[in-house]
Each structure stands twice: as C-alpha cells, then as structure tokens.
Chain A
Amino acid sequence: MNERIRLLFAEAVDIKLEVLHNSEMTIEIAYIAPLCEENKINDFIIVPFTKDFYPFESQLKTNPDYRKVDDVAKWQDLMLRGNVLIEADGIIYSFEASRIISIENPQTQVESAIQGPQLALSEDLNISLNLIRSMYPSADLSVEEHTIGSLSKTPVLALYDQRRVDPTVLDSVRTKLMTINVEMLHAAGELEKLLVGKRKHLFPTILITERPDRITKALSKGKIIILLKGNMFAIILPATFFDFMHAMEDDYDAYWMTRFLIFLRYTSIVLTITLPALYISVVSYNPELFRVQLAFSIAGSRSAVPYPSFIEVFIMLFMIETLIEASIRLPRYIGSTATTVGGLILGQAAQQAGLVSSIMIIVTSVVAISNFVIPVNSLSFAIRFLKYPLIGISIFFGISGVAVGLFVYIAYLCNLRSFGKPYMRIFGKLRPLEGDVGQVKIK
C-alpha cells in the first residue's frame, strides 16, 4: 500500500508511511502527520498493536471505528481529511484521527447580546451541531451533507426542520448547492455570494450569523441553515429585510423598550441614508424648508466655507469613511486612538479652518453613528453605500430628488427576492397559513 501512496502524493516530508511488526503480523500504516492527533494514533493503533493483548486483526474487524476501504480512489481523500490508512492482510482500513484546531467554545463577538446565549458557533462542525441540536432537540431536524469546492472539499451541512421548511425553497437551495462549481471555499460570505448568484447586488439577501439562538429561531420559522466547516458563521436563508433589522435582544428585553429600539433603528436608517443629501438640498436648493433660525445659523456657519455644499459633504464623508475603515482593520488598541484623533481633532480643526461648517460636522457624526445602530453587520455595510447615490441626485434636483431616490430604493427592495420569498414586505408572514396575495399560479 505504501508504495502506491507514495505515488499518489507529491513529495512531502509530512506524509508518514510506516511498517509495523509484532509477533503475529505486519501492518502498514500511512497518514499525514500534521493532520492527525498523534495521541490517537498511539492509543488506537501503535500501542494495541505492539502490546498485542488482544489480536489486532479481530480488533480491526469488530471495532466500527476502523472502517474498511474498498475503493483505492478514496485513499487520497481520506488521508487528506486526517484519516490513518491501515493495511492488514491485504485489507485496507481507515481510522479517523483528525486533529481540528479551533477556538474552544468561542464567545459571541460580532453580534454580542447582553442577555441570551454567550456561546457562538464553533469552527468545528461537530461542536456547532452539538450546540444547535441541544438548543433545538427535535426529531424533525434534518441534516444534509454536501461538499463544495473541487480543491478545498469543504464539508457543508444544510439543516432544516423537515415539517416546517418550505419545499420550494429547499429544492432551490439543494440545486444551488449541487451546482456550485468553485475550487476553494472557506468563508460563509463566499458561499453567500455563490448562493445568491447575482454579480452586483446592493443588499444582502442571506443572513450570516454566529448566534445559535438566532439559528434555532430561524429553524423554528422554517428557514434553512447552512453550516460550513472551519467557519464560525452560519448562513440563514431565506432572509427578509426585517430579519436584518432584528437584534436577538428584541426577544429578550421588555416589550416597550424593544419596540422603541426597533423604531430607533428604522429612524437611524432613514437618517444615515438621507441626511447628507438633505443637507445639500436644504443648503443649496430650499433653505426655506426649515425654521428661519436654523437657516440663519447654517448660513452663518457656512459663511467661511469656500466650496459648494456638496464638496463640503464629500470632504467630511471621505474623512469619516476612511476613519471607519481604518479602525476596523487596526488592532483594537490602536483603533480607538485613530478614532479619537480623527473624530475629535480632525473634525474640530476642519471646522476652524473653515473647510466645513459646524452643522456639517454634526451631520457627519449622526450619519456615522446611526449607521452602527443596525444590528447585522452585512446590512450595515450595504446601508453605508446607499447615501452616495442620493447625494448625487440631490446635487441636481434638491429635495424632490431625494424623495424620488428613496422611492427607487423602496421599489428595488420590494423587487428583491430571497430564494423566491419577498425581501421587503410589511406584515407578510414567511409561510402564511391563510390565503395570501400572489399564491395563485396562472397557467
């Protein structure tokens, strides 16, 4: 066997090919050392074989951990996944001894909640499944395995509640998973792009999460979860716009407070999208829109600014966007310094230098802060972009342009579908029990 294996692989020092002898028999074992747990190999193969209290051959036959491999073509694959191949008496067995390096019981970091589970999904599929299964102990939970990536061979699990899932969505997800054709797949975001299929999309139509409570909630609503090996994040689909605006704490905290928070979130979405554009249209087209006192104080603070309003807006937005971008990538300790330097000093200095008006500083910070209010990161990123087209249209049409732009956004959102389900729909249930609009299929 070892000769053939040597041919199958490229020259690599970490492939271990050994021949072992004891008093009765000779076996050959082959494994890729870094992928395997040495302890496990010692405990299950080398020690029992050399000590030979119990005939190793019958051990191979009885213990289901040693699986018989008939197909030579599978050897490569098995070894690459951390199995040990054992040849005894011309029969090949495989033994799973893979060592997975992952963070032990990671805490939620991206979507943290004060109350609610603090554990996030693990990079190990088994631990993730353990978490989900224990939080969703239902016999209806169905788990399907797929493999994606011609090179990376990433195992992918699709989970759903077989009674509640929408069969049409399930079908389309299955066919999508089967037909994906890539070499490498490592991140949930990558899989998301492949599943959606559209090259240029503005909004995320698939929810990526690390929270097991969000996952089990989604399962109970008949959604499909996709887990990815080596990734702490799961994919939930189909997702609607409102799922992205939903923080898990909304289900845990007091009713009125959470309603207020939800209201706050939608208000801040509107603010972060429209405020720069409104600033331009009020300053340059319709100063009569707001109170006279406000108009005068804007006019006063702008009197030193030499540029038209939109250049002012671009300067400030450029500054704030670079700040945000910089502080995301920087290590945590330096990150806060960067924000302080940028936010406080640059803003103040820019205003004193007469580059921007003081109202514009307020506008910029409101835009930035209200953007962070959105609970799910991927939507927050999408929203961050939305203000720019509106700024463009407001330069030419003022306030009416902004209103028209918002209308186009709403039309676009309503037109989006997440796996056949409407993305933006008020008061619509995902699986309506009674009759719903658009159910009749016309032949």
Chain B
Amino acid sequence: MNRYVFYNFMLVSFINLMLYVPHILIQYRYTGAVSSIVIGILIGTILVYLYTSAMARFPGKGLPEILKLYSPKWLVSIMMFFLAIMWWFATTVVVVAYAVLINRFFNPDANTIVILIMLVLACGYAATRSTLSVMFVVEIGLIINAPIILFVLFKAVRSTQLSWDAIRIVANYVTAMPTLSCIAAASFIFTGYINLSLFNRLLPPNFRFKFRFVYPLFGAMILLITFFVPIGFHGTEGVAQYIYVWSLTADSLLMQYGFIERVLFLFLLVYLNLTLVYTMSGWHQAMEFVKSCIPSYKPEIDSPKTPLSNYVIVGIFALLSVLYLVMTNEKINMMITSYWLIVRLFVEIFIVIWVFVLSRKGAKAA
C-alpha cells in the first residue's frame, strides 16, 4: 500500500508548476537558486524520512488524533484550525491560478469568476466525499495523468531546442548564497509527505514504509527538470520574461504526428486534471482538520452518508476562493504565494519535529 503514500508525493511534486515554484526559482537564477535547490533537496529528504518514520508508529491515526493523545484539546484545536487555513490556502492559490490560466489559453472571452465557480463546484463536490473515495480519485487521476506529464517532460528534455549551454551557465552560479524564498520554493516539491497527516488514517496496522529512497530521487528529478528545462528552452535571459514559464515551454514543443499537434493543449488539460485532484485532496484535508476542532468529532474514513458539516465547511472554502479571486490579481497572487511558501516551510518543520518527538516519547512510554 506504499503506492498510496507515493501518489500524494507525486501529486504535490507535479503541482509545483502551478504554485509559481519555477517562476520564483528562475527569478533568482543568478542569485542563489541553484544552491537553494541543493539545500531544498536536503531539507525535503530529511523531512520525508522523519515524518514517515514518525507516522509509522501511529498506524491508522491522523495528525489530530496523534496530537490529541499528548496535548490539551484546545491547543490541538487551534493548531488544526491553523493548518486547515494553510491547506485551504495552498489549494486555493492553485485553483485560482488555474482559472486565470483557462481564461488566458482556452476561453479568452469568458469571465474568470464563472470559470472559477465551475472549478470550485467540481472540487467541492469531490472534496466532500469520504477520505477513502478521495484517495481513489487521487489514484485514478495520477494513473491517467502522470504518464502524460512524464511524456511531456521527457519530450522536453530530449528536444533539440534544449540548449545545454544555457543550463550549464545557470548551473555555474551554484556558488551564490541560497535565499530563503528559494529554499522554501525548492523544498515545496517534497512536501507531499505532509498529506500523510490525514491519509495516515487509511493505512493498515501492519503497514511499513518501503522504498523511501524513491522519494528524494523522484523529487530531485522533478525539481531539476522544473528549473532547468525552461532555461534550456528560453535561454538564460529570455526565460525571466514569462509569467507562465512552463505553459510557454510546452508550447515550444510540437508533436509532429500526434493527434493534438501542440503539446501546450495536452499539457494544459493534464494540469487541469491535476489541479482539480490537488484541490480536492487539499480541501478534503482542510475540511477534516476543521471538523476535528469540533468536540464531538469522530474520525470516519468511509462514511456511507455524507455528513452535512462537510457541505457547510467546503461551501465556505468555495466562497472564500471566489472572494480571493475577486480581491487579488495575478501579481498579488504570486507575491502572496511566495510568502506562503516560506510560512509553509517553517510550519512543516514544526509539525514534523513535534510529531517525531511524540513518536519517540510514545515508544519510550510503551
């Protein structure tokens, strides 16, 4: 059942393109992005190992239940509420960015808000389902889309347009000092493990994390491709002018004999699916965290009937997302995202260490 853990990891590492990670890194390409990537990989790997080994001690328990074992309820509630906001934000940024992207590339005449409402309704419906169902949707979404993404990435890396000289020029700047926002952006690729906070509930009691070495390898590969391929395509200078770096990179590719000729459309459709899946997973987790603040809350992974509270909470999420779109624009969204990435890094380190300490304590007590 290790594959269910890996799906989460893969999903988040793919979705980084939507969270402006390549854009942030490329902005700092001469001033510390490369060294930050190295440090990001290190931090990410350490966090993955710590968190998985901590979670392995609490089979079938989510983060709220683990924290409630050792800490006062009010503290856990505050913490969970805060985490819910973090999760909601991560996904809302993505879905809002995608609504704008659809507006740019697919339906230039349509109203972005109407598009967002459609996306939000679909994600909201999916997010209110039970945890088990959500996991299945994630699985299907990845099995359908991951091969296509890997194909596009592979095609990009193999393309003759890719200039290895440009990549080497940027890689030479490895000596520049790393910056915080770059480290935060780079380590985001590895952050899929944090979804275990909820999905650990699903894992069976005799579960063991296997093949953990795959996580850093896969993450590092995606991160390097994310950063270097656009540079190879658009040059060391030209790359900085684009807002949607990867959409433009995909547009530079051509499938000579494909049914869809322009890779861009394939890429956008696949990322639309991933965005929906990611938003669903994120909202579902945020929803469960909010629910865990309610005193009479009982965790349920596959309830036959959808509780009303699901609809209420996700409805609020959806409304807030639409509000977010109305109040921000592309520029503000990007700025907020880069700050959010930094906050996220620290929150995650905090959670991982907390749970890790609890797991050691529990082991000693037992």
A contact set with B: CB distance below 8 Å: 285-286, 288-291, 393, 397-401, 403-405, 407-408, 410-411, 414-415, 417, 420, 422, 424-427, 434-440, 442
Report the minimum CB–CB distance from A143 to chain B (whole Å). 29
Please indicate the chain A residues that have their CB under 8 angstroms from the CB of B119 in the complex. 404
Whether the pair B139, A285 counts as a contact (CB closer than 8 A) is no
Whether the pair B300, A442 counts as a contact (CB closer than 8 A) is yes
The digit string for B110-140, where 1 denotes a CB below 8 A from any CB of A, is 1000010011001001100111111111011
**CB of B282 within 8 A of chain A?**
no
Extra inter-chain contacts (4) besides given A425-B136, A437-B135, CB under 8 Å = A290-B259, A403-B276, A426-B136, A437-B202
CB within 8 Å of A: which B138-153 residues: 139-141, 143
Which of the candidate stretches B160-168, B204-212, B227-235, B357-365 sits at the interface with the other chain? B204-212
Chain B residue, CB-CB nearest to A420: B304
Interface size counted on chain B using CB atoms at 8 A: 54
Chain B facing A: main interface SS: helix
Which of the candidate stretches B22-30, B81-89, B265-273, B345-353 sits at the interface with the other chain? B265-273
Contacts A408-B126, A411-B133, A414-B140 given; does A290 touch B106 at CB 8 Å: no
Report the minimum CB–CB distance from B300 to chain A (whole Å). 7
Whether the pair B136, A442 counts as a contact (CB closer than 8 A) is no
Chain A residue, CB-CB nearest to B4: A437
Q: Which of A400, A401, A414, A436 contacts B136 (CB 8 A)?
A: A414
Q: Which of B140, B301, B302 contacts A410 (CB 8 A)?
A: B140
Chain B residue, CB-CB nearest to A440: B60
Please indicate the chain B residues that have their CB under 8 angstroms from the CB of A398 in the complex. 106-107
* Complex CA distance for A408 and B204, rounded to whole angstroms: 28
Whether the pair B205, A415 counts as a contact (CB closer than 8 A) is no
Contacts A410-B141, A440-B204 given; does A289 touch B265 at CB 8 Å: yes
Contacts A400-B102, A440-B59, A442-B299 given; does A422 touch B136 at CB 8 Å: yes
Contacts A289-B260, A408-B122 given; does A440 touch B205 at CB 8 Å: yes
**CB of B261 within 8 A of chain A?**
yes
**CB of B156 within 8 A of chain A?**
no
* Complex CA distance for A405 and B302, rounded to whole angstroms: 24
* Complex CA distance for A438 and B303, rounded to whole angstroms: 11
Report the minimum CB–CB distance from B107 to chain A (whole Å). 6
**Leading 7 A-B pairs by shortest Cβ distance:** A435-B204, A440-B60, A411-B126, A414-B136, A437-B202, A415-B133, A438-B132
Whether the pair A285, B107 counts as a contact (CB closer than 8 A) is yes
Whether the pair B206, A435 counts as a contact (CB closer than 8 A) is yes
Q: Which of A407, A420, A422 contacts B273 (CB 8 A)?
A: A407
Please indicate the chain A residues that have their CB under 8 angstroms from the CB of B304 in the complex. 417, 420
Whether the pair B301, A438 counts as a contact (CB closer than 8 A) is yes
Please indicate the chain B residues that have their CB under 8 angstroms from the CB of A410 in the complex. 137, 140-141
Report the minimum CB–CB distance from A242 to chain B (whole Å). 12
Whether the pair A397, B204 counts as a contact (CB closer than 8 A) is no
CB within 8 Å of A: which B55-106 residues: 59-61, 65, 102, 106
Please indicate the chain A residues that have their CB under 8 angstroms from the CB of B336 in the complex. none
Chain A residue, CB-CB nearest to B140: A410
* Complex CA distance for A291 and B265, rounded to whole angstroms: 12
**CB of B325 within 8 A of chain A?**
no
Report the minimum CB–CB distance from A278 to chain B (whole Å). 11
Whether the pair B205, A407 counts as a contact (CB closer than 8 A) is no
* Complex CA distance for A54 and B351, rounded to whole angstroms: 92
* Complex CA distance for A159 and B114, rounded to whole angstroms: 52
Whether the pair A442, B201 counts as a contact (CB closer than 8 A) is yes
**CB of B186 within 8 A of chain A?**
no
Please indicate the chain B residues that have their CB under 8 angstroms from the CB of A420 in the complex. 304
Chain A residue, CB-CB nearest to B277: A407
Give 28 A-B contacts (CB < 8 Å), ordered by A residue. A289-B262, A400-B106, A400-B107, A400-B269, A403-B272, A407-B276, A411-B122, A411-B125, A411-B126, A411-B133, A411-B280, A414-B136, A414-B137, A415-B133, A422-B133, A422-B136, A426-B139, A426-B140, A426-B143, A437-B1, A437-B4, A438-B301, A439-B205, A440-B204, A442-B60, A442-B61, A442-B65, A442-B301
